[in-house]
Amino acid sequence: MIVSIIMGSDSDLPVMQKAQEVLDELGVDNTIGIVSAHRTPRRMFEFAAQAEDNGIGVIIAGAGGAAHLPGMVASLTTLPVIGVPISATKMEGEDALLSIVQMPAGIPVATVAIDNARNAGILAAQILSLSNSALKERLHAFRDAMTVMVEEKAAALDEQMRQRGD
C-alpha cells in the first residue's frame, strides 16, 4: 500500500515535500500531487472515490487558509486521512489548523502541527506498519537513530558546560 500526499496548491509544496522526504527515508512508496477542494472539487471527488482501488493506504492532505481539503477527502473515503495545516495567510496557519482539526463527530482527520508535514509522513508510516513488519523494524531503527542523535547533542553540551566550569 502506498501513501498519497495531496495539497491544495503548488505553493504548499515546500512544506508537503517534508512528508515525502521522510516516507522516502523509511522506504514507503508514495505519490504527491495537487487536488484543491475549492478550485478542483470534481478532481477531489474522483481522487477520493478511486483512492482505495489505486492501492492507497493512507492519505496525507495539506492545505492553508480555509483548509477544507483534508476534511472533505475524509468524508469521501474510510481510508485514514492525516491533515497538515499550512501557514499560508496572515493568520500564519492558525486558520488552517482550526479548519482541519475541528471535524464533526463521525468523520475524523488526524491533524499534525502547523507546517509539520514530516510528522504526517511518520504517522502514515506507523499506520502502514501495523500490517508490515519490515516497515515496523525500520521505524524502530528510525527512533533509535533519533535517540542516539539527541544523546550525542546532550553529551556535547554537557562537555561544553564542563569546560566552562559550570
Select from 23, 31, 28, 22 the least CA-distant residue to 51.
31
| Structure-block grid coordinates of residue 79 | 481510508
**44 scored as a contact of ligand RP5 (CB under 6 A):** no
**The one among 3, 23, 51, 64 contacting ligand RP5 by CB under 6 A:** 64
Looking at 57-65, 73-81, 124-132, 145-153, which segment touches ligand RP5 (CB under 6 A)? Answer: 57-65
| Strand 56-64 relative to strand 30-34, pairing | unpaired
**65 scored as a contact of ligand RP5 (CB under 6 A):** yes
How does 4-16 read in b/e, with b if 16+ C-beta sit within 10 Å? bbbbbbeebeebb
Distance separating alpha carbons of residues 131 and 127, to the nearest angstrom:
8
Q: Which residue, 12 or 59, is less far from ligand RP5 as judged by CB?
A: 12
Distance separating alpha carbons of residues 36 and 56, to the nearest angstrom:
18
Q: Which residue, 44 or 58, is less far from ligand RP5 as judged by CB?
A: 44
Looking at 1-9, 124-132, 137-145, 153-161, which segment touches ligand RP5 (CB under 6 A)? Answer: 1-9
Distance separating alpha carbons of residues 43 and 40, to the nearest angstrom:
5
**9 scored as a contact of ligand RP5 (CB under 6 A):** yes
SS3 call for 57: strand
**The one among 3, 6, 8, 22 contacting ligand RP5 by CB under 6 A:** 8
Contacts of ligand RP5 in 13-42 (CB under 6 A): 36
Contacts of ligand RP5 in 82-111 (CB under 6 A): 86, 88
> Site residues (CB under 6 A) for ligand RP5?
7-9, 11-12, 36, 63-65, 86, 88
